[in-house]
């Protein structure tokens, strides 16, 4: 039991330390939100943060 617990904690903390190397936005949908803006006779297809 003790060995199992020790192994679990080992894996848990190792994984936790890995998270800092992974890009935060990888956990979210890749799809960026579309924003339409009209200028003169054209409709621009933009991202929300453009």
Sites of contact with another protein (CB under 8 A):
30-32, 34, 37-47, 49-50
Whose Cβ is closer to another protein: residue 5's or residue 40's? 40
Q: How far is the CB of 27 from another protein (least distance, A)?
A: 18
Q: How far apart are CA 33 and CA 8, in angstroms?
A: 39
- Helix, strand or coil, per DSSP, at residue 19: helix
| Token output for 33 | 């939100």
The dihedral of CA 14, 20, 23, 28: what is its sign?
Answer: positive
Whose Cβ is closer to another protein: residue 14's or residue 41's? 41
Whose Cβ is closer to another protein: residue 24's or residue 30's? 30
């Amino acid at each position: 039991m003790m060995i199992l617990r020790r192994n679990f904690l080992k894996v848990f903390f190792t994984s936790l330390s890995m998270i800092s190397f992974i890009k935060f936005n990888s956990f979210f949908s890749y799809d960026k939100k579309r924003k339409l803006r009209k200028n003169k006779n054209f409709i621009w297809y933009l991202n929300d943060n453009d």
